[in-house]
Amino acid sequence: MRVLGVNAVFHDPAAALVVDGEIVAAAEEERFTRRKHGKSPVAFATWELPEQSMRWCLRRAGLEPADLDAVAYSYDPALAPEFDGDVVADDWEGLRTLYAQRAPLFLRTALPGLDPAKVTFVPHHVAHAASAHLAAPYRNSAVLVLDGRGEVASHLAGRANDGQLDVLATQHLPHSLGLLYEEVTAHLGFRRSSDEYKVMAMASYGSPRWLAEFRELVHATDDGGFATEPIDWSRYAPARRGDMDWTSTHADLASTVQIRLEEVLLDLAGWLHRQTGERALTMAGGVALNCVANARLAAESPFDHIWVQPAAGDAGTALGGALHVAAAHGDRIAPMKTAALGRSWSDAELAAWLVTADIPHERPDDIADAVAGILADNGIVAWFQGGSEYGPRALGHRSLLANATRADNLKRLNDVKGREQFRPVAPMVLTDRAADIFEGQLPSPYMLFTHRVKPAWMDRIPAVVHVDGTARIQTVDAGDEPLVASMLRHLERRTGVPVVVNTSLNTAGRPMVDDPRDALECFGSAPVDALALGPYLIRRRGLTLPESAA
């Protein structure tokens, strides 16, 4: 069965294609349009579809819209709040519903030849849940979805048994852990539905001094759900504008909310474990991108395994919706093997881009070794290889790489990207060396958990050790990621350290680089020493890095 999944309603519009149970392609619209998060998260933008990513998914598989058996739309307007025809009441909620109801017609316009009757509405949290339990490497799991909101809920807890989801609990709005975190994000001067990870980073600089009060305001209930009471944020810290300095009071508020979130997640996971007895917990929804909370669940919850789908935010509901419809039709779903589900180019196509740009380049015998040499000499490398990543993390396909042994590379990378200095950067490490250097659940291929750095390594990889002694690692397996693993092996041979700094290939406020033009533009405008574009190496003019001794 050929199913196109579409996420369009709130934010992070995206498309995914599943053919006979195999994930063929998945991509976020922002990578095509270069507009961060794809669109504004407002009701009157609900009609906007991920047109370019939908068309690319079809092109990738050589399909026409008429070839599709189904289109899964990850929101069900039949579940949305009732509205009396006044589309502007209640923050335009009725308009959102109306636009979602009309989505089949909008889809026919965007994909000429599509039969609108083939569009299926998948409840938002069912799509999130499917993106976790159907993509995970477990046939059975407990499933936890937490986000800002879906139609009327912000949470789903369930049990998946061989592809069938049994919903055990849902938490209705206005109670929402995702919206709670969005509110504190906005209060602390960051962009809601976008910059929540900055609050998580800031939290480690503070102490949770209002935890007792927040335990009253935010708490699990005995039915598997939770309550979030209205919070007057100004009682704790003054509202911060984005251009103002932050203070320890702001960090303390971030810490309080972060720790309380972790505690409530542990309560929800405990309830779900008691209900299901499952060993594995699969998770999705924007809250599941909180890698500090995920690490705490891995360490302290009763589950043996925690698996988080790498596109856990709303973009992932495109994949989840498609997987759900395919599974309901009877297709056997193949687990997700990689997040590199986006666009890629052949060597010849990349060469043509370089010829068009008239830019001097070389083709080393081994690009992995050449890059390792530049990194060993403390150069910063833009690394563009294979298919682009689905989800917010750069996982070795559209990455900026640097030497982890030099403490000043954190500041250097934050300067290159033009972003705040409290933002950490993360390490990639060879899977077979990870346990020597990091603690916690391994492997960790999607950068969704923080891990304590072992004491003997703290001073050896200072660029990637966060102030709290942890690092958000990505383990790299030679079978799954042969080129990245080869680069790390060469780096270890040259430096003795099988770890590299990896951050996303973009500059502040821009989506991750996706196509070769984006890579060349980023390289051209940021002080990066080299660009590894497939097998080709472009060095910054005037760069006089010495050849490292092999």
Which residues belong to the active site?
A: 11
Task: State the nearest-atom distance from the C-beta of 203 to Fe ion, in Å.
Answer: 22
Distance (Å, whole) CA 182 – CA 199: 9
Q: What are phi and psi of 135, to 5 degrees?
A: -85, -20
* Piece in contact with Fe ion (CB under 5 A), picked from 145-153, 303-311, 434-442, 509-517: 145-153
Instruction: Find the Cα–Cα–Cα–Cα dihedral 449, 454, 455, 460, rounded to 10°.
Output: -90
Pick between residue 167 and residue 299 the one whose CB is nearest to Fe ion. 167
> Using the rule CB under 5 A, which residue among 183, 262, 314, 331 binds Fe ion?
314
Task: State the nearest-atom distance from the C-beta of 12 to Fe ion, in Å.
Answer: 9
What does the block give as tokens for 305?
């395994």
Pick between residue 15 and residue 253 the one whose CB is nearest to Fe ion. 15
What does the block give as tokens for 235?
């009682």
Task: State the nearest-atom distance from the C-beta of 316 to Fe ion, in Å.
Answer: 8
What does the block give as tokens for 414?
């934050």
Pick between residue 177 and residue 453 the one whose CB is nearest to Fe ion. 177
Distance (Å, whole) CA 96 – CA 81: 10
Task: State the nearest-atom distance from the C-beta of 248 to Fe ion, in Å.
Answer: 33
Distance (Å, whole) CA 37 – CA 391: 11
147 binds Fe ion (CB under 5 A): yes
Task: State the nearest-atom distance from the C-beta of 178 to Fe ion, in Å.
Answer: 7
Distance (Å, whole) CA 138 – CA 217: 35
* Piece in contact with Fe ion (CB under 5 A), picked from 187-195, 256-264, 311-319, 347-355: 311-319
Helix (H) or strand (E) holding 281: strand 280-284
Task: State the nearest-atom distance from the C-beta of 9 to Fe ion, in Å.
Answer: 9
The residue behind tokens 């579940």 is 79
The residue behind tokens 């061989």 is 162
Pick between residue 293 and residue 471 the one whose CB is nearest to Fe ion. 293
Q: What are phi and psi of 290, to 5 degrees?
A: -80, 95
76 binds Fe ion (CB under 5 A): no
| Site size for Fe ion (CB under 5 A) | 2
* Piece in contact with Fe ion (CB under 5 A), picked from 25-33, 99-107, 314-322, 400-408: 314-322
Pick between residue 263 and residue 314 the one whose CB is nearest to Fe ion. 314
196 binds Fe ion (CB under 5 A): no
Residue 390 carries which DSSP code? S
Residue 151 · residue 123 · CB < 8 Å:
yes
3-state secondary structure of 170: strand
Pick between residue 151 and residue 314 the one whose CB is nearest to Fe ion. 314
Strand partners, 539: 530
Residue whose C-beta lies closest to Fe ion: 147
User: Rule CB under 5 A: which residues touch Fe ion?
Assistant: 147, 314
